[in-house]
A = this chain, B = another copy of it.
């Protein structure tokens, strides 16, 4: 049913030619990330994704995770696949070597994670949440917490969760009410209910380490009174042995549109004697720690948009090459494969071009993340961090919206068969629908982008990105031929659009925050489209250089130039209209009083 082949050629091209794997491998601590090792890792990951995870993607969707008597049973095959996943060491790929991880760059783990997500997004959420919890404990946990939890979690024997949302609060963490009551021994008892907890309960691991936001007595109101606690499913003694069952239970799971194999749990903490937890870091600083995790998680969800777009593309492409129906509109003796129909090609190219653009931008951001943490020069660390901070909401928001668009197109390519669940195309669309919502909706990403990332610094970082894009534009100008002329023209319009929109935001945010906020999502989409087009233009330039250097025998390079050309005329062409909406869209959106809706 499900088949997936990791797009290794494009992944390696982006890693090496666009994201700068060589430079990342020169950073202190990443000396092991040689081209040979990275190639071997990606090969093995591709085999695992295609051979173990993809085959249980559709069956996992149909069967779903099931709940009974406070326990969750995973669909057939998941427990065994997770055992293999952990034993092969995939869980610790980018984790600290001090606790058993392999310490590879985020750039490499991004490519590997793309594969897990594309092959089986429901499965991939378990290690994703575990990684988030590992990151929080690595950065903020006490020595004792680290010693107790990290080796088992990095080895994948225990998994992790993030417990933020409460029924009354949704995305508004200021409204969190879960209580943490200090005990004489220095621990806390946690009381409260959390919802939407991914893999809050399951049968694939020996223990589950919950990270929980809660309030201590007399904590300040709002987000300044939130603390972070670690609450294990089974208590762990000083020798690391599992002890008694903690008072943290899954009381139900949600019946969802998609990701059916990923249990979304309602968690009850302290319904009986109180759930035992220990404080992570300092009291009332929980939100800060959560944001550390959240930025990593937001980037990862952006990768999910890319991954589901790629998976939907592969499925639609296979169908379009196989399905024979109708004559060629330009004339043919008999019926032809539907890929021959111009509109089907258009849809496939939209899927291909945008998947490649999302990959190029995401990996480039991952490489900047590695440099932001590991570069020896402080100024370069700062510059890279500023680029990462600006781009995280774009990667999250744009890639997830685009991933949904691609999954929608994937159904359309299948025609009537796309609407039949057995085909599997509809699953990508259902699964993708959560991506623009969890880890902060697109609206929340966009507010972060225009507020914290642009207005607060007067647009400094976005201006530096615009300057980089103009360098690419100048290089395009030196190329010959229609394709590069079209790419150059479209990118130039795109840059002007981003520039005008960012100027508007920086100039009016303080005086008209509601009006400017109307343009937040259109601006986020504009940024994604243009930055994606920038990366496609860079890819076309590299490809042209390869051809000029005598590597024209590999048709990949000519295809990349055509794909960048397509992107310019079919995707970048939306930039000017989006900038108009950012600059002029406030009045129409805000003028209507609420009772007139």
Closest to A172 in B: B326
Of B255, B404, B518, which is within 8 A of A421 by CB? B255
- In contact, A325 and B577 (Cβ under 8 angstroms): no
Q: How far is the CA of A358 from the CA of B335 in the complex (A)?
A: 36
Stretch at the interface among A138-146, A183-191, A470-478, A588-596: A588-596
| Residues of B contacting A421 in the complex (Cβ-Cβ under 8 angstroms) | 255-257
- A409-424 contacts to B, CB under 8 A, are 411-412, 415-416, 418-422
Q: How far is the CA of A592 from the CA of B573 in the complex (A)?
A: 20
Is A566 in contact with chain B by the CB < 8 A criterion?
yes
- A325-375 contacts to B, CB under 8 A, are 325-330, 335, 337, 339-346, 348-349, 352
**Given A254-B420, A255-B420, A513-B329, is A597 in contact with B352 using a C-beta cutoff of 8 Å?**
yes
Is A224 in contact with chain B by the CB < 8 A criterion?
no
| Residues of B contacting A196 in the complex (Cβ-Cβ under 8 angstroms) | 416
- In contact, A592 and B559 (Cβ under 8 angstroms): yes
Q: How many residues of A contact B (CB 8 A)?
A: 102
**Given A419-B437, A518-B346, is A339 in contact with B597 using a C-beta cutoff of 8 Å?**
yes
| Residues of B contacting A328 in the complex (Cβ-Cβ under 8 angstroms) | 514
Is A59 in contact with chain B by the CB < 8 A criterion?
no
| Residues of B contacting A513 in the complex (Cβ-Cβ under 8 angstroms) | 329-330
Q: How far is the CA of A344 from the CA of B594 in the complex (A)?
A: 12
Is A517 in contact with chain B by the CB < 8 A criterion?
yes
Encode contact with B along A441-459: 1 for CB under 8 Å, 0 otherwise: 1110011000000000000
Q: How far is the CA of A81 from the CA of B21 in the complex (A)?
A: 64
Of B172, B344, B349, B404, which is within 8 A of A325 by CB? B172
- In contact, A588 and B570 (Cβ under 8 angstroms): yes
| Residues of B contacting A415 in the complex (Cβ-Cβ under 8 angstroms) | 170-171, 437, 441
Is A388 in contact with chain B by the CB < 8 A criterion?
no
Residue from A567, A574, A588 with most neighbouring chain B CB atoms (10 Å): A588
- In contact, B426 and A412 (Cβ under 8 angstroms): no
- In contact, A349 and B576 (Cβ under 8 angstroms): no
**Given A342-B514, A346-B521, A517-B342, is A416 in contact with B170 using a C-beta cutoff of 8 Å?**
yes
Copies in the complex: 2
Is A175 in contact with chain B by the CB < 8 A criterion?
yes
| Residues of B contacting A592 in the complex (Cβ-Cβ under 8 angstroms) | 345, 349, 559, 562-563
- A481-501 contacts to B, CB under 8 A, are 482-483, 486
Closest to A434 in B: B419
- A10-30 contacts to B, CB under 8 A, are none
- In contact, B517 and A343 (Cβ under 8 angstroms): yes
| Residues of B contacting A518 in the complex (Cβ-Cβ under 8 angstroms) | 342-343, 345-346
Is A100 in contact with chain B by the CB < 8 A criterion?
no
**Given A426-B257, A565-B588, A577-B577, is A169 in contact with B325 using a C-beta cutoff of 8 Å?**
yes
- A52-100 contacts to B, CB under 8 A, are none
Stretch at the interface among A242-250, A298-306, A578-586: A578-586
Residue from A416, A437, A559, A575 with most neighbouring chain B CB atoms (10 Å): A416
Is A438 in contact with chain B by the CB < 8 A criterion?
yes
- In contact, A569 and B584 (Cβ under 8 angstroms): yes
Is A433 in contact with chain B by the CB < 8 A criterion?
yes
Of B195, B343, B434, B555, which is within 8 A of A446 by CB? B343
- In contact, B585 and A569 (Cβ under 8 angstroms): yes
Q: How far is the CA of A574 from the CA of B576 in the complex (A)?
A: 8
| Residues of B contacting A420 in the complex (Cβ-Cβ under 8 angstroms) | 254-257
> A256-B420, A257-B421, A321-B594 provided; 10 other pairs, C-beta below 8 A?
A170-B325, A195-B416, A257-B420, A258-B419, A346-B585, A412-B441, A418-B433, A482-B587, A483-B587, A555-B596
Closest 9 CB pairs of A and B: A566-B588, A343-B443, A342-B517, A565-B588, A573-B577, A257-B426, A172-B326, A573-B580, A559-B596
What are some 11 contacts across the A-B interface (CB < 8 A)? A165-B416, A171-B325, A175-B325, A257-B426, A329-B514, A342-B589, A404-B408, A411-B433, A412-B437, A415-B437, A573-B578
